[in-house]
Amino acid sequence: MEIKIIKIPKIEDPRGNLSVIEKDVVPFEIKRVYYLYDVPAGAERGGHSHKEQHEFLVALSGSFDVILNNGKQVQKVTLNKPYEGLLIPNGIWRELKDFSSGAVCLVVASDVFDEDDYIREFDEFLSVSSN
């Protein structure tokens, strides 16, 4: 699995658009959904990697940047469309920053919360990713 932007099906309607995330949109079984909101100006979220879990991030409202690091390369992705999501496989360090006012980040995850699946120290991540 690789980092990539995935288009979410969009049903356009003059009364308001609708997008649906189902099993065919993300390449994993959805086991957890949560969202980040009211992120204060200048605050950052993320700052971790997962050993097994995959995630799919969507900017439901507003925008934010996702800084991705695989231990060798760093890339920045700006999310700002509610019909596009960012697939982040396991083994990728992620930092979310530069949230616009009113931004909402939806996270669709392949597993339930498990603290043992997190790598929260960047040095540990680098040592694991270099193997």
DSSP run (H or E) holding 125: helix 122-129
DSSP string over 30-98? --EEEEEE-PPTT--EEEEEESS--EEEEEEES-EEEEEE-SS-EEEEEE--TTEEEEE-TT-EEEEE-
d(CA 65, CA 77): 6
Place of tokens 């994993």: 28
Catalytic residues: 48
